Amino acid sequence: MSLIVVGSVAYDGVETPHGKVDRMLGGACTYISLAASYFTSVEIVAVVGDDFAPEDTALLEGHGIGLAGLERVPGKTFFWQGVYSADMNDRTTLRTDLNVFADFQPELPAAYRSQPYLLLGNIQPALQRSVRAQMTRPLLVGGDTMNYWIQDYREELLATIAEWDFLLINDGEARMLSGESNLRKAASKIVQMGPRILVVKRGEHGAVLFSGDEMFFAPGFPLERVFDPTGASDCFAGGFAGYLAGQGIDAPSGKACSADLRRAVIYGSVMGSFCCERFGVDRFRTLTRGEIDERFQQFRRLTEF
């Protein structure tokens, strides 16, 4: 039983106040699958060009990530370049070369279609929907989106998330999607759009889970130094869905109980926090499950009273 992850595998150029890297492994699918791999078996569906480096393939394989759905086509891999502000709360995109990603039409290998868990990274809603349609009996489906799709592809996005069990978005996106500035009212409206599990990510302020009548607030982990926030939100998604998949959660039957969902939010927060400790995916080269569980306990100490 695997978690299928669909999204971008990319190369990134990133500058933060702590340094500059011209080209390193990145992309939502990469971050999600690395984070999820600590909790469950993961298979990815993505596309790369013929420039995709063997050592990057090896990193994914080293985490046990199934690459049968990683399509390799002639051309260059998606490239993104950005620079962060001094406090790292804003970033400016300097360059986006879609390259082979421009024609990405995710096609699930036959063996993936009967898997129970699906996490859709931030890509065009119609593509996310086409992937969902290829699954034969999913137990838990969800994903991420962004302001661009909310503004310019609203109907397509609404049709897509109507078929999801969970949605992970940030607070600005939640307000944009719902038209409500109050977080609780925004959440009520979004849950009515389909996904009965909603996680609103609030950057350094943590994340909020809405599910039925339940709300759960997780703080952001107070890092002394954020090296590079790139991918933190995707790592949250990977930790969240990876933990639920690893527990064998069955959303439609209601088995995704409050305790599981709360723990999943904390594991998501843990993975997002580790991601920020090094440039790009570097933290995942050494990270152990033991360190993850230790930070999970630190979250308990940060919040219990």
Binding site for a second copy (CB under 8 A): 86-87, 181-185, 202, 204-206, 208, 215-219, 222-226, 259, 262-263, 265-266, 299-300, 302-305
Q: Which is nearer to a second copy, 153 or 216 (CB)?
A: 216
Cβ closer to a second copy: 57 or 188? 188
Residues sharing a CB contact under 8 Å with residue 9, sequence separation 6 or more, in sequence order: 25, 27, 29, 30, 44, 46, 47, 48, 52, 70, 77, 78
Cα separation, 188 vs 136, in Å, equals 29
Residue nearer to a second copy on the CB measure, 162 or 223: 223
CB 214, min distance to a second copy, A: 8
Q: Which is nearer to a second copy, 96 or 182 (CB)?
A: 182
Q: Quote the least distance from Cβ 295 to a second copy, whole Å.
A: 13
Instruction: CB nearer to a second copy: give 53 or 223.
Output: 223
CB of 83 to a second copy, least distance (A): 17
Name the minimum Å distance from CB 52 to a second copy: 36
CB of 298 to a second copy, least distance (A): 9
